[in-house]
Chain A
Amino acid sequence: MQIWLPLGLLAVVALGVVAVGLFLRSMPGRAELTAEERAEMAATPMPPLQKRAWWGLLVTLATLATITVILMNYGAAEYWENDTLRLTVVGIFMAGLFGYVATLLLPQIKGDRRNLDERDRTVLNRAGTVQSGIVLIALAGWLITLTERFREQGAIPVVYLYLIFGSVVLVNLLGQSLGILLGYWMESGNGEG
């Protein structure tokens, strides 16, 4: 029976690697720009989707980092028993989610109501591959950590279900922002997708 655990973990990690590999393969590759082209790109404002992704990355990273520091300081058991601590973490999590939603509304707030153009849509579609890859890697991380930590007890405390869910939500949002930024960095060379 023991053989299935490492095999399962290996399969999950391999899936994540395959997802990231597929994404990179679907990209045309990083452009080699001339000095003139680089100057022109630097003078060109970012599309609204790219700006949104930078803000999304900032918000999700800040939320994840804050919650991680708190949980590492107090521990999962204290989080589960101390209502004040739990509410604080939930409050930070909700603030992070609202912050992310605010980044989605950013173009409207700034009066830029243009729809995404075809290049933005291609970048957005490709970002999904990075998103799912990162979620798989995060789940594999939880699986390995919890299995090794609680192998002797044979059971994992319920508190971890909440932590896994919360982290996957944030990592999923982080993955989308990361995928979008990676897409713009590598650039989409074909409007037919």
Chain B
Amino acid sequence: MAKAEIANQIRRLRFEHDEMTQQELADRVGCTRQTIVLLEQGRYAPSLALAFRIARHFGLSVDAVFEYRG
């Protein structure tokens, strides 16, 4: 699978939020840890709903967390 066309800042944001673990973030936004790992590796483009949940969790807008590189 090629890299997803959507890049993100999730890894950086996790470390800036008390070095939150992938599992903690996964539990808080309602997905599995594997999905967070794939998101951080840029190999998975989330649904809009998940993108909003992640952005909201970090207190940011979606476009501050995700970037379209199509």
Q: Are B33 and A28 in contact (CB under 8 A)?
A: no
Chain A interface residue count: which class?
A: 20 to 34
Nearest-CB distance from B61 to chain A (Å)? 18
Binary interface encoding of chain B residues 1-39 relative to chain A, with 1 for a CB under 8 A from any of its CBs, else 0: 110100000000000000000100001001111110110
Number of interface residues of B (CB under 8 A): 22
**Which among B31, B32, B33 has the highest number of chain A CB atoms within 10 Å?**
B32
User: Does B44 lie at the interface of the complex (its beta carbon under 8 Å from any beta carbon of A)?
Assistant: yes
For B31, the chain A residues whose CB sits under 8 A away are: 117-119
User: Does B60 lie at the interface of the complex (its beta carbon under 8 Å from any beta carbon of A)?
Assistant: no
Q: Which residue of B lies closest to A28 (CB)?
A: B1
Binary interface encoding of chain A residues 158-193 relative to chain B, with 1 for a CB under 8 A from any of its CBs, else 0: 000000000000000000000000000011111110
Pick from B2, B33, B49: contact of A44, CB under 8 Å = B33
For A186, the chain B residues whose CB sits under 8 A away are: 1
Nearest-CB distance from B60 to chain A (Å)? 19
Q: Are B43 and A117 in contact (CB under 8 A)?
A: no
